[in-house]
Chains A and B, each alone.
Chain A
Amino acid sequence: DSGVTQTPKHLITATGQRVTLRCSPRSGDLSVYWYQQSLDQGLQFLIHYYNGEERAKGNILERFSAQQFPDLHSELNLSSLELGDSALYFCASSVAGQGAIFSSYNEQFFGPGTRLTVL
């Protein structure tokens, strides 16, 4: 158990719909990362938040958005869903972000993932 929680575990929805995935980081972690893993592929970085602020964007579609709340939990919003959005969505957390407090490897701890199926 990494200490990172994600809800829901599974989500089945239809094309055109909107869903929200939730992530709670480990206690004390300020950074949250979202990744997408399509079938039998590696993880693709979507977005990074540090202490409530967006820090970096990866291959995130405009239909997707995220935020990190004052209690540090994060939500990933996926809208106008398409069949190709079906994937496993991981959240990870780490202690720090960029800057002076950057540690040597700043390990990312992954949550169990949310499996999204778009029908």
Chain B
Amino acid sequence: AQTVTQSQPEMSVQEAETVTLSCTYDTSESDYYLFWYKQPPSRQMILVIRQEAYKQQNATENRFSVNFQKAAKSFSLKISDSQLGDAAMYFCAYRSGRSEFDMRFGAGTRLTVKP
């Protein structure tokens, strides 16, 4: 079974600095998708960035980028120029390419941004 591990329960960053959140996953599949979701205090789940496993190029969305290491099964999220509004829980998620309902989430990393 696929599992997603986020080894950092909490992280903090100074405003305007860069922070990297770690995520590893375990799978025997070759076709899958990886996601980072942000959950602010409002509890809304917001998709931050996605990565298709077949793509070698790392995904980027403005200040958010990922470092996808397929062989190492690692999928880290880098937040550049951190802003106060980035403070939230961040969840890494895995979805099998064979089953669009089967989304597995990590336990989350709580990010604090210090002014």
- Report which A residues bind B (CB closer than 8 A): 2, 31, 33, 40-45, 48, 55-56, 88, 90, 92, 94, 96-98, 102, 104-110, 112-113, 115
Contact = CB atoms under 8 A, between A and B. Distances in A.
Given A104-B52, A105-B33, A107-B50, A56 B91 contact: no
Contact of B101 (A48, A109, A112): A48
Interface residues of B, number: 25
Contacts of A90: 45
B39 to A, nearest CB: 9
17 contacts: A31-B101, A33-B103, A41-B108, A42-B4, A43-B91, A43-B103, A43-B105, A45-B101, A56-B102, A88-B43, A97-B100, A105-B33, A109-B47, A110-B37, A110-B46, A112-B42, A112-B43
A98 B47 contact: no
Q: Is the interface of B mostly helix, strand, loop or mixed?
A: strand
A56 B101 contact: yes
A113 B91 contact: no
A104 B91 CA distance: 21
Contacts of B108: 40-42
Nearest to B54: A104
Looking at B37, B43, B99, the one whose CB has the most chain A CB atoms below 10 A away is B43
B44 interface: yes
Contacts of A41: 107-108
A61 to B, nearest CB: 18
Given A42-B105, A42-B107, A96 B100 contact: yes
Looking at A31, A55, A102, A105, the one whose CB has the most chain B CB atoms below 10 A away is A105
